[in-house]
Amino acid sequence: MKKIKVHSPGTVANLVCGFDILGMALSEPFDIMELSLIDEPKVIIHNKDNFNLPVEAEKNVAGVVLLSVIERLENKVGFEIAIEKHIKPGSGIGSSAASAAGAAVAANHLLGKIFSNDEVVQFAMNGEKLASGVKHADNIAPCILGGVSLIRSIHPLDIIPLSSPDLFVTIVHPQIEVRTSDARQILRQQVLLKDAIRQWGNIAGLVTGFLKNDVELIGRSLEDVIIEPVRSILIPGFDEVKEKCKEAGALGGGISGSGPSMFMLSKDKNTAIAVESVMKEVYTRIGIDFNTYVTTINKNGVEVVV
Q: Which of 5, 198, 244, 246 binds a second copy (CB under 8 A)?
A: 198
Q: Which of 186, 197, 233, 305 binds a second copy (CB under 8 A)?
A: 197
- Which span (31-39, 84-92, 113-121, 154-162) binds a second copy, by CB under 8 A? 154-162
* Contact status: 252 vs a second copy (CB under 8 A): no
276/58 Cα distance (integer angstroms): 38
Q: Which of 108, 126, 170, 199 binds a second copy (CB under 8 A)?
A: 199
Angle at 246 between CA 235 and CA 185, to 5 degrees: 25
Contacts to a second copy from residues 206-245, by CB under 8 A: 207-208, 211-212, 217, 220-221, 226
CB 186 within 8 A of CB 202: no
The CA–CA distances, whole Å, from 213 to 162, 166, 209, 263 equal 11, 9, 6, 19
Please compute, for residue 289, the number of CA atoms within 13 A of its CA located in the half-sphere on the CB side. 4
Shortest separation between residue 216's beta carbon and a second copy, angstroms: 10
Clarify whether 74 is annotated catalytic: no
CB 153 within 8 A of CB 204: no
152/297 Cα distance (integer angstroms): 21
Contacts to a second copy from residues 16-75, by CB under 8 A: 18-22
User: Within the chain, what is the greatest distance between any pair of CA atoms?
Assistant: 57
- Which span (28-36, 150-158, 261-269, 292-300) binds a second copy, by CB under 8 A? 150-158
- Considering the complex, state which of residue 136 and residue 173 has its C-beta at the smaller distance from a second copy: 136
Q: Which of 52, 190, 287, 306 binds a second copy (CB under 8 A)?
A: 190
CB 241 within 8 A of CB 278: yes
100/118 Cα distance (integer angstroms): 14
Q: Which of 60, 68, 126, 202 binds a second copy (CB under 8 A)?
A: 202
- Considering the complex, state which of residue 104 and residue 226 has its C-beta at the smaller distance from a second copy: 226
Shortest separation between residue 132's beta carbon and a second copy, angstroms: 15
Angle at 203 between CA 119 and CA 130, to 5 degrees: 35
Clarify whether 128 is annotated catalytic: yes
CB 227 within 8 A of CB 187: yes
Query: Which among 11, 34, 80, 128 is annotated as catalytic?
Result: 128
Q: Total residues at the site for a second copy (CB under 8 A)?
A: 38
CB 210 within 8 A of CB 163: yes
70/78 Cα distance (integer angstroms): 6
Q: Which of 97, 107, 150, 241 binds a second copy (CB under 8 A)?
A: 150
Residues that bind a second copy in the complex, under the rule CB under 8 A: 18-22, 150-153, 158, 160, 162, 187-194, 196-205, 207-208, 211-212, 217, 220-221, 226
Active-site amino acid positions: 128, 180
